[in-house]
Structure 1
Amino acid sequence: MTDRRDELARNLAKVEERIVAACAAAGRKREEVTLIVVTKTYPASDVRILSELGVRQVAENRDQDAAPKAAACSDLPLTWHFVGQLQTNKVRSVVAYADVVQSVDRPRLVGALSREAARAGREVGCLVQVALDAGQGPAGTAAEGERGGVAPDGIEELADLVARSPGLRLDGLMTVAPLAGEYAGRQQAAFERLMDLSTDLRRAHPAANMVSAGMSADLEQAVAAGATHVRVGTAVLGVRPRLG
């Protein structure tokens, strides 16, 4: 376990150096960017080590993995983010541990989250997931994005619904750099577009100032664009084991 602790400490230090350098290059203060470590597919023992190393924000994308892990780590001072596409039949379980759901992309999900948060007596932070590739595919393909999310022109309606739903708090926006459409291979342009959408959102909802963008490969571009949170998994935990 000491070897694993040393490995995670080294990796965290490298990611911290990258964030510091990206902030300096963008003329931003380091404290303006929060690191969320994506712990999906990794065991609770890694989460415990990360907590000992000072990590306070972790993310998961599959409830069947996240629920037992969060329960095993319930004594730790962690904020849990759910970042995967969320089915309504998993909402009750997710609301039990997730402090923030970053993948809110449809009204039905908002309704389910609100009901379960109210039932549990919790306030759950919500990010509207934005699909910057929505509507960019070939004719006949679905309007939603390749990795989930709502098209930019659907943000206002969905955000307003979250804001007025009991048990929910509208925190801001999230995106994943698109693999298709006009922003494919143009991560910084995609993240700058998200920042513009965040500016629009904050006119109606000033407190919804969280912008979650950037992962291991493109965190620098996200910081340059103005992201407040970056979601880093592989660069901290290593290449993920294949899911069998």
Structure 2
Amino acid sequence: MTDRKRELAANLARVEERIASACASAGRKREEVTLIVVTKTYPASDVRLLSELGVRQVAENRDQDAAPKATECADLPLSWHFVGQLQTNKVRSVASYADVVQSVDRARLVTSLATAAVRTDRELGCLVQVALDAEAGGRGERGGVAPDGVGELADSVAAAPGLRLDGLMTVAPLAGPYAGRQQAAFERLMEISSRLRTTHPAANMVSAGMSGDLEEAVKAGATHVRVGTAVLGVRPPLG
């Protein structure tokens, strides 16, 4: 085993212990929470090592990095999640490799994603990104739709050809009433999810929590946590 693979294995084991402990504390089964490893800024060689170590879900946030990486790793049994703010001019590329787009936050993006999914004959999973720092009718500092816009946007995803409404995603906000209150933010997301599932029962995925706050997300009820630094180490600067 190479030094890098040994390092990743140790980091994964520590993250696994954290998730398992958080599940136990919350009275949840470990299998209720899926780990998504955020591989942004790291090379395809790391993705390959993660796959060898049993990782099956990976995430990227910039198409210019993700597209070549996904191509290089096309032989691996991976599901790719796109988690960054997505411009419509990147949709066609993202739809060619992503299995789930977690950052759907406006109607125009839904239309573009549906067109691309139909063109490539793929079904694309979509999460509505909820911005808990957004005013009514607005968008968040890091993307996302305000809570009052979730229902309408979710309906448009569910009705769009080639798209599948899987659930909701949020990033703990840096501003607004939930700044520094990750637990409260994730609990609010779960309330919105519960309401969404009354009209879209299959949209039960809740993606929340990262390296620094995965325990709070698990406690609130998240089904997926997105962990990067705790697995891969401190990120190199973006070029």
CA distance in 1, matches of 2:63, 2:140: 21
Shift of 1:135: 1.7
Task: Report the equivalent of 1:210.
Answer: 205
1:123 pairs with 2:118: no
1:232 pairs with 2:232: no
Shift of 1:143: 3.1
Partner deviation per Cα, 1:178-235 (whole Å, 9 max, x = no partner): 0011101100100000000000000000000000000000000000000000000000
Shift of 1:146: 1.0
Task: Report the equivalent of 1:139.
Answer: none
Paired positions, count: 239
CA distance in 1, matches of 2:15, 2:41: 20
CA distance in 2, matches of 1:135, 1:152: 9
Return the TM-score normalized by structure 1: 0.97
CA distance in 2, matches of 1:188, 1:69: 34
Task: Report the equivalent of 1:159.
Answer: 154
Instruction: Report the AA paired with residue 203 of structure 1.
Output: T
CA distance in 2, matches of 1:164, 1:243: 37
Q: Which runs of 4+ in 1 moved over 6 A?
A: none
CA distance in 2, matches of 1:42, 1:6: 16
CA distance in 2, matches of 1:29, 1:98: 28
Partner deviation per Cα, 1:8-51 (whole Å, 9 max, x = no partner): 00000000000000000000000000000000000000000000
Q: Please list every run of 5 or more consecutive structure 1 residues that lacks an aligned counterpart in the other structure.
A: 137-141
Partner deviation per Cα, 1:72-102 (whole Å, 9 max, x = no partner): 0000000000000000000000000000000
CA distance in 1, matches of 2:48, 2:202: 31
Return the TM-score normalized by structure 2: 0.99
Q: Please list every run of 5 or more consecutive structure 2 residues that lacks an aligned counterpart in the other structure.
A: none
Q: Which of these residues, 143, 161, 169, is aligned with residue 138 of structure 2?
A: 143
Task: Report the equivalent of 1:55.
Answer: 55
CA distance in 1, matches of 2:141, 2:183: 18
CA distance in 1, matches of 2:166, 2:5: 33
1:197 pairs with 2:168: no
CA distance in 1, matches of 2:191, 2:61: 26
SS at match of 1:71: helix
% identical aligned pairs: 81
SS at match of 1:96: helix
